[in-house]
């Protein structure tokens, strides 16, 4: 393994939004050496060159390479962090089998979303299956969830060039907006991760990262006020009932069953299941996370700088295009 003073962390999915934040946080901490597993076809892409320039070691490979090659890619690695695309979650299994065989000290499966019980979101159930697999093979692990991104939670200003369907999503108030919502600034995810993976208290535990918790209605009121378009944005609110959310989730599931390869049907199903989880069942709350056994990152690291949504909103509404993360994709 690597030098005990600078553990080597391999990030899978380092070129994505969450993976990129994780890499930045690890490097900024000064406590880790960082490598990224990158597919050969992506080795010359600008984002890969940026990783190299920042000091990240690029290791070529793919989750489908098989255990022998993955073991080679894991040479000298102390910690593996996975932040992969939703449709390749099951491909993590060989990575974790290889990690077990070479003696990796800790793995972090791809979660980085909202907490919840099984049977509500198929995507979350897949993640829960990966957690169960990691426990079954006996590799030390840590699960990290982060709630919802601040970048995606506020109502967009009217000047945004986002398509109307995206704007409508941000104007929607679900089931009266009464449920509390945990939010985290995507840019800070890596800073939390760096603290968590260096902490022996988090081995074989799940950790809930969050920076603020407000009801959905409070979030709308905050955004409307800070945007400078309070009356206009309030008039654009779209109220959706609990019954409509539940029906929408059922309809989306039925539509996908008829056309399993339709990307729009897939996205619709994922989103409607999130709506039900967060805004009907209230699963994306601190109370819910603690009931599910998560450790509270704010309690673990009380010295971590506070960053309320109100502070983020001041910056958000001064951006040239506040919908940038919506437009670039998750």
Structure tokens at 271: 């989103």
Structure tokens at 44: 């010359």
Which of 127, 167, 236, 269 is catalytic? The answer is 127
CB of 161 within 8 A of CB of 319?
A: no
3-class DSSP state for residue 160?
Answer: coil
Backbone conformation region of residue 117, classed left if phi is above 0, alpha if psi is from -120 to 50, else beta: beta
3-class DSSP state for residue 240?
Answer: strand
3-class DSSP state for residue 204?
Answer: coil
Backbone conformation region of residue 155, classed left if phi is above 0, alpha if psi is from -120 to 50, else beta: beta
3-class DSSP state for residue 215?
Answer: strand
CA dist 62 and 83 (Å) reads 13
Backbone conformation region of residue 86, classed left if phi is above 0, alpha if psi is from -120 to 50, else beta: alpha
Compute φ and ψ for 207, nearest 5 degrees.
Answer: -120, 135
Give CA angle at 36 (31, 39), nearest 5°. Answer: 180
Active site residue 127: yes
Secondary structure of 180-193 in HEC code, one letter for each residue: EEEEECHHHHHHHH
Structure tokens at 314: 């001041």
Determine whether 233 is exposed, middle or buried from the number of CB atoms within 10 Å of its CB (0-12, 13-18, 19+): buried
Q: Which residue numbers are catalytic? A: 127
């Amino acid at each position: 393994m690597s030098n005990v003073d600078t553990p080597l962390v391999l990030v899978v999915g380092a070129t994505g939004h969450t993976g990129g934040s994780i890499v930045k946080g690890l490097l900024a901490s000064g406590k880790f050496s960082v490598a990224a597993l990158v597919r050969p076809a992506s080795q010359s892409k600008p984002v890969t060159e940026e990783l190299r320039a920042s000091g990240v070691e690029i290791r070529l490979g793919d989750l489908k390479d098989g255990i022998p090659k993955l073991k080679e890619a894991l040479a000298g690695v102390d910690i593996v962090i996975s932040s992969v695309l939703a449709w390749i979650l099951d491909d993590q299994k060989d990575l974790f089998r290889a990690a077990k065989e070479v003696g990796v000290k800790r793995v972090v499966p791809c979660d980085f979303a909202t907490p919840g019980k099984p049977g509500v979101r198929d995507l979350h159930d897949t993640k829960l299956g990966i957690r169960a697999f990691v426990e079954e093979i006996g590799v030390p692990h840590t699960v990290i969830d982060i709630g919802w991104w601040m970048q995606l939670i506020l109502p967009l200003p009217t000047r945004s060039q986002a398509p109307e369907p995206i704007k409508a999503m941000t104007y929607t108030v679900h089931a009266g907006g009464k449920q509390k919502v945990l939010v985290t600034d995507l840019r800070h995810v890596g800073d939390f991760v760096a603290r968590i993976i260096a902490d022996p208290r988090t081995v074989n535990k799940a950790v809930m990262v969050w920076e603020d918790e407000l009801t959905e209605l409070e979030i709308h009121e905050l955004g409307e006020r800070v945007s400078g378009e309070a009356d206009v944005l309030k008039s654009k609110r779209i109220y959706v009932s609990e019954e409509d959310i539940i029906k929408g989730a059922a309809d989306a599931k039925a539509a996908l069953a008829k056309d399993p390869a339709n990307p729009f049907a897939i996205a619709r199903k994922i989103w409607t299941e999130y709506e039900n989880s967060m805004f009907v069942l209230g699963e994306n709350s601190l109370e819910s996370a603690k009931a599910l056994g998560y450790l509270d990152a704010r309690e673990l690291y009380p010295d971590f700088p506070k960053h309320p949504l109100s502070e983020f909103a001041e910056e958000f509404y001064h951006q040239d295009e506040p919908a940038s993360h919506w437009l670039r994709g998750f």
